[in-house]
A and B are shown apart, each in its own frame.
Chain A
Amino acid sequence: QKEVEQNSGPLSVPEGAIASLNCTYSDRGSQSFFWYRQYSGKSPELIMSIYSNGDKEDGRFTAQLNKASQYVSLLIRDSQPSDSATYLCAVWRWDTGTASKLTFGTGTRLQVTL
């Protein structure tokens, strides 16, 4: 089982629709969760972070976390062509006395169509 799993896509949504991106993780001790956006040929850009169960909203983006189900999601409302990119889910764990570790999924490619 992969540590962080994402559907590779592509996920195709029409402009103006809601895009829903999902991620599951295997380590129950994971403490922090991040979504990065990566345009083709560019480096990952942090767009959302979430640390506790529930929803966190920032503009058109909403991150959702359910630690009991080991599930993280990202909703993009009013999707725009400029949202077309690969979205990487990343999960972080740190234990006292050991190194912290940020583990990435392979990413979901989102295509927003006109």
Chain B
Amino acid sequence: EAGVAQSPRYKIIEKRQSVAFWCNPISGHATLYWYQQILGQGPKLLIQFQNNGVVDDSQLPKDRFSAERLKGVDSTLKIQPAKLEDSAVYLCASSLSLAGYEQYFGPGTRLTVT
């Protein structure tokens, strides 16, 4: 069974530029999550989708971050414009459903904003 796929793996941009990350979850997983992990901290949930609907985006900085999951499979997370404090690893995870199933993480995208 293929795992969660993410791209790109690394990205370096200047502040005020925009960036987009892509995620393809494990086949059959209805729930998809985007997390931000700053060095030395645990992952922090940004947004979660159930199929193609947003379930929780309460911690997403909506003035600069946006995410979508078209057709209930792949998802993209965008930052526009980026700030220095956005430097982090962006992790995508998926699970069978919202109901407490284990979440499995992709390899992440390491973003550096200069």
Contacts and interface: CB of A to CB of B under 8 A. Distances in A.
Contact of B98 (A44, A45, A51, A94): A94
Interface size class on chain A is 20 to 34
Contacts, number: 56
A105 B43 CA distance: 8
B105 A44 contact: yes
Contact of A44 (B45, B58, B91, B100): B91
Contacts of B55: 99-100
A88 B42 contact: yes
A46 interface: yes
Given A99-B48, A99-B55, A101-B56, A44 B43 contact: yes
Nearest to B103: A102
A106 interface: yes
B45 A102 contact: yes
Given A88-B43, A94-B100, 5 more contacts: A42-B107, A46-B102, A94-B98, A100-B98, A102-B103
Interface of A: 4, 8, 31-32, 34, 36, 42-46, 49, 51, 88, 90, 92, 94, 99-107
Interface of B: 33, 40-45, 48, 55-56, 58, 89, 91, 98-100, 102-108
5 contacts: A31-B100, A43-B105, A46-B104, A88-B42, A100-B98
